[in-house]
Every structure is written in C-alpha cells, then in structure tokens.
Chains A and B, each alone.
Chain A
Amino acid sequence: MRAPQGRVPWALTIPAVAGLAFLVLPLAGLLIRTPWSSIGPRLAGTQVGDALRLSLISATLATGLCLVLGVPLAWMLARLSFPGRRLVRALVTVPLVLPPVVGGVALLLVLGRKGLVGQWLDSAFGITLPFTTSGVVLAEAFVAMPFLVISVEGALRAADQRYEEAAATLGASRLTVFRRVTLPQVAPGVMAGAILCWARALGEFGATITFAGNFPGRTQTMPLAVYLALENDPDAAIVLSVVLLVVSIAVLALLRDRWVS
C-alpha cells in the first residue's frame, strides 16, 4: 500500500515530533548527567552486580511463569465462549491500571504470612513468600502478565481459525491442535508478549518493594537500588539507571532482531 499523496499535515507532524522529544529528551538528560569518569569504580561495587543479577533472573523467571499461565489464559479468552467472558477479560487487565503498590498490598493480604492463602502455605508447608526472591518473581509476574495475555489473545484472534478446524476434522484433539497448529501460528505474538512482559517485570518497583521488601542480594532489584541510591547519592542512582537502560535496550534489540521482525 502506498502512502496517500499530498502536503505533510503539520497538525500531525508537530505534535508527533514534540511527543518524540518528550520521550527521548529525559533519556538524553540521563546520559548527559552520567559521571562517565567514575562509572568504573561505581559499577565495581558488589551491590550493583547483585541487583543486576537478581533483576535479570527474577524478570526471566516471572516471564516464564507468565508464559505457563498466561498463554492458556489467552487461549481461553480467545477460543472458548463461556458466560462472563467479558468480565474475565476485564479482570485480567486490572493489574495494568492498578497502581503497582496496591498490587503489592493485595498480594500481601493473600499470600503474606497472615494472608488468606499464605497462612495456610505457612502452616502446611512452612513456606512464606514475602521477603524472598520467589516473592519478587510473584510480584513481577502479577504486574507483567496482562501484557502477555493481551498480546497473545490479540494474536489468537487475528490467526486464521480454518487451519485449526482442518486439523480438528482430521482427528486431532483440542490439545494437539493447540500445540501443533495454534501455537506455531501465533509464535510471533507470544514472543512479542513475552518481551513486553519481561521488560515490564525488569522495571517493576512498587509491587516488589511492597510485597518482597528490599534486601541486597535477595530482593533488591535494580529499580529498588536506583530509588534508594537517589536518597543520598544521586550520581550512583544515575549510573545504575544507565546500566538498566543499556541492558534493557540491548536485550530488547537482540530479541526483536531474532524473533519478531
């Protein structure tokens, strides 16, 4: 399809350029203010390494959890018709609009040591989730899963269902159809959703600090380290932010080249 001919509409391009500047300038400001000369010794501190490692591991585990639970959920929303489906879809997107801190409080009330489910987990298995790395993964998964579900559901709706029907008429079970036909068909959508989900998990702050707390090496992820460094050492916070920025851009670029485009 060719772009329509005619003059460039300024009413669109001026806000577009302003929007671009609005998104890019703060990042440029971060790079301008970065104390490049002292970046080496600041990064050598063990706390940075710990926080970065913990962030990468927990975001990856959270994405794994979201894939295991979120893809079937997306399939249910796209392929099954059941009463209250619209309500379920609305519920799935709630964590998107909910302030993450509220999500963290809600997780505490359910999965905390005194929570509805957590109480039972503690007495029956001796498992307590708050203040643990598992808690970080859960908090990140809670906030990030809607991104995956929405993206996969969109891909499922756009996919041509005739292939699934053909497989079914040839005798394939519903599970086989899902595994051999549906999933390969929507793989790019799943990958895009997983990337969004991972990026959101990597940047998660509010639910993590509320549910899992903040302890170096165990629950202190990069965003938490940035926030606390800002309290007394803004330069350290800037260095940490730049590291997080570089890592996320690198991973996103790598994945996009390989899987999406």
Chain B
Amino acid sequence: MKLRLAALALALPLALTACGGGSSSGKSSAPSKKTLNVFAAASLTETFQQLGKTFEASHPGVTVKFNFGGSSALAQQITQGAPADVFAAASPATMKTVTDAGDAATTPATFVKNELEIAVPPSNPAKITGLKDLANTKYKVVLCAAQVPCGAAATKALTGANLKVTPVSLEQDVKGVLTKVELGEADAGLVYKTDVNSADGRVKGIDFPEAATAINAYPIAVLKDAPQPGLAKEFTALVTGPQGLQVLTAAGFEAP
C-alpha cells in the first residue's frame, strides 16, 4: 500500500509536467518562451538578480536563469561545455580561461571594479586600523585562497605593501571569509567593499590606501555557444549600460 502511494506520488508530478508541456507548445500565438543562462561571480548575486528582473520585465516570455559561483569554477564549467549565454567574472584571469579556450563570442568588456576592504567584527575587538595590523601574529586573520580572485587581490595588496601576513585560514571564497569574521572567529579578513555592504552591519569595513594597488576588474562577455546570442547581447548591454551601472554602484561597485 505504502509503496503504491509512493509510486503515485512520483508519477503525479511527471504526468502534470507532461500535460503542461503539451498545452504550452500547442499555442503559437503566445510570446515564445526563452531562457537566458547567465553565469556570474558570486559577488554579483544581489545586483544581477535585480538586473535579471528588470530584463525579464522588458522582455516578456524571457526567463533569466543565473548560475552564481566562484569565477574559477564557473570558467571551468564553461570550458567543459556547460550551456551558458553570458559570463560575468570577478577577474580578468578567470575570464582569460574562457577566452583562451575560444569560448567567448565577444571581446570581454570591463563593466565594474571592486576594491578590497578590511572586514572586522562590529566591535572591532583587535582594534584594527589599517593593513599593517594584519601582519601582527597576535590577531587571527582570514584571507581568500590565492586560487580565487579575492585571494589574488589580497596577495597583491599585501605584497605591494611589503607585508607578511600569516592567516589562520585561506577560505575557498569571499563569503567564507565574511562568515568567519561575522561569527567573531577571526579578528579581521580581506573582502570586497560590496561584501561588507551586503553583510548589512554584521561586519565593519575599514578602508586602506593600499587597496588601490589591487583593484579587481569585472569583465563580461557573450559566449560562443550561446543558445540565445541575441538576448545575451541585450543583457550584456543592460549590464554595461547606465541602468546597470546605477544598480551596481548602489551596491558598492566602482565604475570601470
């Protein structure tokens, strides 16, 4: 009895989707349904979701689907043949993986820049004031691993300032650094300005002048095997245009 119910429960949604598919493909007068697949760096999550809604509103019948993740991992997925229309990366190096593989249809355009900031718990227990404090081994400092863009930028800023920092952990992405600081496990971490903004008061951001030496540029490109090349170009135009810039700068990104 139980088994039969389970089988029915499994079969029901299948039957329903089968019906749904049949009825929608039967009508030709309705606006054609299209899906645009955008692969974007994790730090673009909030802003791109907002831009995606704007795009859907101005393009009836179009659904924008996002795949947010570490830029390096996304680049790997694209070169391995993942069906993507647009790629927005958090560093030129990760975009280069895609262009080197011949997977980009357009020359990547830089649409925003992101600067590093020191993130500390709101009470700043270690009294961090600048980058040089991070070199103090008394404090627990968390950085991104050098393999991901935020880690590469951190390394660049620290070597540029001639500082040797011994972190307690090298996190897999910038959100990992943010979590450790938010929970008070780390005294300080290096993250993007936009991450401090999105943390909404759970961490405090401290600007440091050396950040200017390690600004990350975000490139965007339409991909060669894009199933929707026309829509991909339009979405890229929205992101690089004035409306996109407005949304992105409101979140703490800098104009290119």
Contact = CB atoms under 8 A, between A and B. Distances in A.
A209 B176 contact: yes
A114 B185 contact: yes
Nearest to A232: B147
A109 B183 contact: yes
A114 B172 contact: no
B70 A231 contact: yes
Q: Is the interface on chain B under 10, 10 to 19, 20 to 34, or 35 or more residues?
A: 20 to 34
A230 interface: yes
A114 B184 contact: yes
A114 B184 CA distance: 6
B184 A113 contact: yes
A227 interface: yes
A214 B171 contact: yes
Interface in B153-211: 167-172, 176, 179-180, 183-185
B180 to A, nearest CB: 7
Interface residues of A, number: 25
A213 interface: yes
Given A228-B147, A232-B72, A112 B185 contact: yes
Contacts, number: 64
B76 A213 contact: no
B250 interface: no
A114 B125 CA distance: 12
Contacts of B57: none
Interface in A209-229: 209-210, 212-216, 219-220, 224, 227-229
Contacts of B73: 230-231
Contacts of A220: 170
A215 B170 contact: yes
Contacts of B232: none
Contacts of A230: 73, 76
A213 B147 contact: no
A213 B145 CA distance: 11
B57 to A, nearest CB: 34
24 contacts: A105-B179, A112-B185, A113-B185, A114-B184, A130-B168, A130-B180, A130-B185, A131-B140, A212-B169, A213-B168, A214-B145, A214-B170, A214-B172, A215-B168, A216-B170, A228-B145, A228-B172, A229-B147, A230-B76, A231-B72, A231-B76, A231-B145, A232-B72, A234-B76
Interface of B: 70, 72-73, 76, 140, 142, 145, 147-148, 167-172, 176, 179-180, 183-185
Instruction: Please give me the 8 A-B residue pairs with the lowest Cβ-Cβ distance, nearest first.
Output: A213-B169, A114-B184, A131-B168, A231-B72, A231-B147, A232-B147, A130-B185, A112-B185
Interface of A: 105, 108-109, 112-114, 130-131, 209-210, 212-216, 219-220, 224, 227-232, 234
